[in-house]
């Protein structure tokens, strides 16, 4: 009888090890999936920021060309107004793009 009980305990321990191994495998797969999802989210955020930077750069370039077209005799206010318009539109566009792709 002791042999039968020992065998039963051994089977129980083996079953416990297999179940624990299955749970560990599941947890490992879930952790890998979480990491992959975080990486995708980070890539998405980086691409949005890059797109915003490009839009702002374009706006600044257009604004700078408008300031240059005014000439050196223009007042600071006129230069600021010429620069602010394209940059303002670029900022608006950059954040609109973020909302569209977010």
User: Quick one: average pLDDT of 39-44?
Assistant: 94
**71 Rama sector, left if φ>0, alpha if ψ -120 to 50, beta otherwise:** left
71: phi then psi, degrees, rounded to nearest 5: 95, 170
pLDDT in tens, 14-29: 888 888 888 999 999 9
Other beta carbons within 10 Å of 75 = 9
Listed by start position, the domains of the chain span 2-101
46-90 per-position pLDDT tens digit: 988 898 888 888 888 888 888 888 877 788 888 888 888 888 888
């Amino acid at each position: 009888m002791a042999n039968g009980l020992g065998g039963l305990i051994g089977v129980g321990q083996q079953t416990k090890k297999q179940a624990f191994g299955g749970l560990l495998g599941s947890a490992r797969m879930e952790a890998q999936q979480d990491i992959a999802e975080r990486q995708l989210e980070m890539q998405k955020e980086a691409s949005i920021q890059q797109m915003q930077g490009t839009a702002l750069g374009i706006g600044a370039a257009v604004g700078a060309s408008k300031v240059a077209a005014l000439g050196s005799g223009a007042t600071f206010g006129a230069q600021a107004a010429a620069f602010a318009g394209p940059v303002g539109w670029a900022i608006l566009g950059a954040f609109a793009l973020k909302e569209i792709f977010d």
